[in-house]
C-alpha cells in the first residue's frame, strides 16, 4: 500500500513527516516541488509536482490518496481514488458532492474518510503539533 499525499501546506507537514519517519510508503505530490522538498526533502526524494493525470497513472488498488489541497480538489481526487479501488482521506467536512460518492465507494470496497466532526479538526491538530 502506498500513501499518495497531495499538498504540503503548513498544517499538513507534521502528519506527513510522521508517516515518512514511521516507515510508511509515501509519495508526495505538491503544486510546488520546491516547497515540498523544503518540508520533507530531508526524509524522502519521492516528491512530484501535483498533476492529477500523473497521479492517476500511479495509484493502485488498496493505496490511499490523502488530499490536503484546497477543498475544490477533494471530490475529483476521491473520484480518482474510487476509480482505482483506492481509499481517500481529507481534512475537510463532508460536502454534498462528497456524500454523493458514498454508494460508489461502497461498491468499490473503499473508504472515504473526511473530517469526522472533530473541533478543532485534524488539520488544526497537526498545526498545533507543528507549533509545539
Annotated catalytic sites, by residue?
119
- What single string gives the DSSP state of each residue in 91-112? SS---HHHHTTHHHHHHHT--E
CA distance 65 to 126: 18
Burial class of 119 by CB neighbour count within 10 A (0 to 12, 13 to 18, 19+): exposed
Residue 78 CA to residue 21 CA, distance in Å, equals 26
Amino acid at each position: 500500500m502506498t500513501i499518495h499525499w497531495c499538498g504540503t501546506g503548513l498544517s499538513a507537514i507534521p502528519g506527513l513527516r510522521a508517516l515518512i519517519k514511521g516507515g510508511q510508503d509515501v509519495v508526495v505530490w505538491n503544486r510546488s516541488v520546491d516547497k515540498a522538498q523544503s518540508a520533507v526533502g530531508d526524509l524522502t526524494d519521492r516528491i512530484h509536482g501535483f498533476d492529477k493525470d500523473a497521479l492517476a497513472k500511479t495509484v493502485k488498488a488498496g493505496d490511499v490518496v490523502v488530499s490536503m489541497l484546497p477543498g475544490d480538489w477533494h471530490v475529483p481526487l476521491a473520484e480518482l481514488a474510487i476509480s482505482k479501488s483506492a481509499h481517500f482521506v481529507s481534512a475537510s467536512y463532508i460536502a454534498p458532492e462528497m456524500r454523493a460518492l458514498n454508494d460508489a465507494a461502497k461498491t468499490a470496497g473503499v473508504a472515504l474518510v473526511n473530517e469526522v466532526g472533530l473541533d478543532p479538526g485534524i488539520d488544526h491538530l497537526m498545526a498545533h503539533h507543528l507549533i509545539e
